[in-house]
Structure 1
Amino acid sequence: MSTHRPEGRHFGVVRELKNQYAEAQSPDIPKEHLERIQARVKELLPALMAWRERFPAILASRLKPATLGSVAGHPDVTFEQHLLIAKTGLLVFAVDDIADGEIGSLEDAQLQAALERYVETARAPDSQDWTGTDEASVVGAAVQDVARQLHAAAGARRYLALWQEHFRRMCSGHLTELRDKRRYQQDGALPSLEHYLDVSRWTCGAPMYHSAALVVLGPELSADPLEEPRIERALSDMALLSRWMNDVRSLERERAEGKFNSLTLLCAAGMPEAQAEREAVERSGKHLESLVDVAGKLPESLLPWGKTLVATGHFSRMFYMQREFHHPESSG
């Protein structure tokens, strides 16, 4: 095996850009706003820790990121709303951890069955029995608990189908990623970049998470959310701006684990790694620009939600420029 250290390793290109990005695009947050966020996070964590005790397969390291994300994205909602939004964030992590084998030890057929049952649970919470003690069953019980709460939430009548569809896409995407990973491991076959992005925008969980926020908050909307193309575009841009940044940050880890991501695909097409890093950051930035545009054109009742997406998009890019979100690491 070659000992050559690719030019872009250790996040080299993005390190050049993060201070410039922070200065140019990340708006200052008033001190009192930060203090309010920190206070609510501190208030929420004990409740989330107690909830996790019921579903201990969920990794404790996920609690603070999920809590911070729910509060920073929606600073002015109630404690109960923050709590439910944070729980949906923990589901993103938990399902991803099951699919990646971070928790549990499922064979491929078992994983497929579990993910299909998760989707059915989101559709009809009491349709599945989740009394098992294995990790996949514990996560299924957590999905069931959150789904029951979302079915009873303020925006369920209007937005529940949107959340269920994006939950389904997330789980279906994990199965597609599994098949793609197995082909890569067996014969080195890589998918196209377009295919990878089309799948991974759903598996990152952002569309499911932000759809759940609409269920929790319940803003008025006369149209069917599933038929509103601006909602779909906003969710897709939000997912892809994060996906590109996540892939830069996780490239070395995933390479070591025998996996691939968008940068692998760019490099396989002949692009030097440092250039691939820069390409990824630029593509992420273009999705943020697109998100800003579409968020401003949403129906009036959804404009606050759109502003939340934009703020979260800025936060996500800046966060990934300093550390990896899904797998905590030193930013040194």
Structure 2
Amino acid sequence: MTDDTRAAELDAIVAELAPLAQRYAFVRAKRLPGIALTTYTRMPSWRSEDPPLAAARYLVWIFGVDDLSDDWSVPLPELRARYATLRAVARGAAAPPGDDLAALLAEVRAALAQLPLWPALADTWACSLDDLLAGMEAERDPAPRESLEAYLAYAHLSIGAMQDAWTLLIVLNDASALAQLPTISAALRAEARVIRLANDLNSADKELAEGKQNALTLLAPYGDARALAEAALAEAIRAFRAAIGQVRTSSGRFEQCIAATADATVAFYKRFTFHEFDHRAQ
């Protein structure tokens, strides 16, 4: 694959996603190149494996709900009411007029509902959304967590990795996965820890300035917070590789996609953020 080929593929994905930024006010167009990179890195054959880009559209939605949750000007009761709406939409309710987040969620759900594995995984997907929102709500609690593990107990949920992965599983349509759901769930929790720690290393300075907790603020009393977080990330990567190694679908594509997602995200966060990445500038 040449650099020109990759750039052209990323351009094509961005072009497919760009109308979302026109239809939905919460979508930040500057994030689309990073989402395109994630999509293409793990699924070079996206035109055949996920032609409507349902998984990429869902990543756009995850960023949007994260922005809502991070907006502390939104009172907690209002945030909980928005979450209740999103939980209902995830289970088939219509999106209320004027709620763009709910509308995009309904759009993604409708695309997934056309796929063969949806009946078997719809409840799992909706429950994972519940976990995502519960993790995001927990981030509103300013009380310091007593340990890194106590922090990761909710922070691995709020990063959105598991929701993304269950969406990929539905898209890839390998029915052999259905007999391995507990093993897959364990692997996805391990993946989420990797992505959370990589994210925290990337955003530590920003979150410190905002007075928010992350892995580094919790580790600071014990020494060099960055070095300790990097060690925790290295251990999380080892645990993830062991866990994903237990997943063996018939096609092998799901475990390949999840491993590629974790590896690519760790590498991405060492250099970029989703707010600033521009593939044409690299």
Q: TM-score, normalised by structure 2?
A: 0.89
Distance 2:5 2:119 in 1: 31
Distance 1:304 1:291 in 2: 17
Deviation at 1:276, TM superposition (A): 1.9
Deviation at 1:271, TM superposition (A): 1.7
Instruction: Find 1:290's aligned residue among 227, 231, 239.
Output: 239
Distance 2:130 2:251 in 1: 23
CA contact (8 A) 1:41 1:67 kept: yes
Deviation at 1:87, TM superposition (A): 0.1
Alignment of 1:59-70 (within 5 A): 59-70=28-39
Deviation at 1:248, TM superposition (A): 1.6
Work out whether 1:151 is the aligned partner of 2:113: yes
Distance 1:222 1:244 in 2: 27
Instruction: Deviation per CA, 1:143-188: give whole Å up to 9, x if none.
Output: 111111112223212332222221111011111221x23xx4xxxx
Q: Which residue of 2 aligns with 1:200?
A: 155
CA contact (8 A) 2:172 2:253 kept: no
- In structure 2, the CA distance between the partners of 1:157 and 1:221, relative to structure 1 (3 Å rule), is farther
Q: Which residue of 2 aligns with 1:101?
A: 71
Identity %: 24
- In structure 2, the CA distance between the partners of 1:118 and 1:151, relative to structure 1 (3 Å rule), is same
Larger Rg belongs to: 1
Deviation at 1:251, TM superposition (A): 1.4
CA RMSD across the alignment: 2.2
Distance 2:227 2:177 in 1: 41
CA contact (8 A) 1:173 1:203 kept: yes
Instruction: Find 1:138's aligned residue among 89, 100, 111.
Output: 100
Work out whether 1:119 is the aligned partner of 2:87: yes
Question: How many residue pairs end up in the alignment?
Answer: 277
- In structure 2, the CA distance between the partners of 1:222 and 1:49, relative to structure 1 (3 Å rule), is closer
SS at structure 1 position matched to 2:51: helix
- In structure 2, the CA distance between the partners of 1:321 and 1:305, relative to structure 1 (3 Å rule), is same
Instruction: Find 1:264's aligned residue among 207, 214, 217.
Output: 217
Distance 1:278 1:175 in 2: 28
CA contact (8 A) 1:192 1:265 kept: yes
Alignment of 1:302-313 (within 5 A): 303-313=252-262
CA contact (8 A) 1:240 1:287 kept: yes
Q: Which residue of 2 aligns with 1:50?
A: 19
SS at structure 2 position matched to 1:45: helix
Deviation at 1:191, TM superposition (A): 4.5
CA contact (8 A) 1:84 1:146 kept: yes
Instruction: Deviation per CA, 1:18-62: give whole Å up to 9, x if none.
Output: xxxxxxxxxxxxx34x55443322112222111331112111122
Distance 1:294 1:145 in 2: 32
Q: Which residue of 2 aligns with 1:247?
A: 200
Work out whether 1:168 is the aligned partner of 2:130: yes
Runs of 4+ that moved beyond 4 A? none
Distance 1:54 1:147 in 2: 17
Instruction: Deviation per CA, 1:79-124: give whole Å up to 9, x if none.
Output: 653621110111110110010018xx52211111101211111111
CA contact (8 A) 2:95 2:106 kept: no
Q: Which residue of 2 aligns with 1:27?
A: none
Distance 1:116 1:299 in 2: 35
Return 5+ residue gaps in structure 1 as ranges.
1-30
